[in-house]
Amino acid sequence: MSVGLRDQLIRIYAYTDVGVDGLMASAYEYVETQWGRIEPPSAREETHGEKAGFKVEGVVTLGWEAAVEEKSIIAVENQYWHVHAVLPRRGVYEKQLYVSRVLDDVVVVTS
């Protein structure tokens, strides 16, 4: 992964639980948009995900200041991705995210 190569707009949505009549539905609230980059995972990154119990389908690099955490989702163009891990890269002031594609419906709260 190249340090500083951020040429895609990444929309970040924070995980929230909204319930109706005792039923909990997952929803995501828009937080911010950051410049970043999504790339295919390396074999090492796929192995880390497997050991932690999830499949890594992409690796995203964002700036250090990005307000993203585990359980969030991100959107790159029209594709949504679950954030499974947020790894700080302090030496280069970046955050690296391990993500997998969202295959089900997503409820996004924009206000």
Q: Which secondary structure element, helix H or strand E, spans residue 43, and what is its range?
A: helix 43-52
Question: How many domains would you assign to the chain?
Answer: 1
Tell me the average pLDDT of the chain.
84
Domain that holds residue 69: 8-109
Q: How many CB atoms lie within 10 A of CB 66?
A: 22
pTM above 0.85, yes or no: no
Q: pLDDT tens for residues 20-43?
A: 555 666 778 899 999 999 999 999
Residue 99 placed within a domain: yes
Residue 3 placed within a domain: no
Residue 52 placed within a domain: yes
CATH label of the domain that carries residue 28: 2.40.10.270
Residue 1 placed within a domain: no
> Can you tell me the distance from the alpha carbon of 19 to that of 102, in angstroms, rounded to the nearest whole number?
21
| Residue 43, both tokens | 């074999």
Q: pLDDT tens for residues 52-70?
A: 888 999 999 999 999 999 9
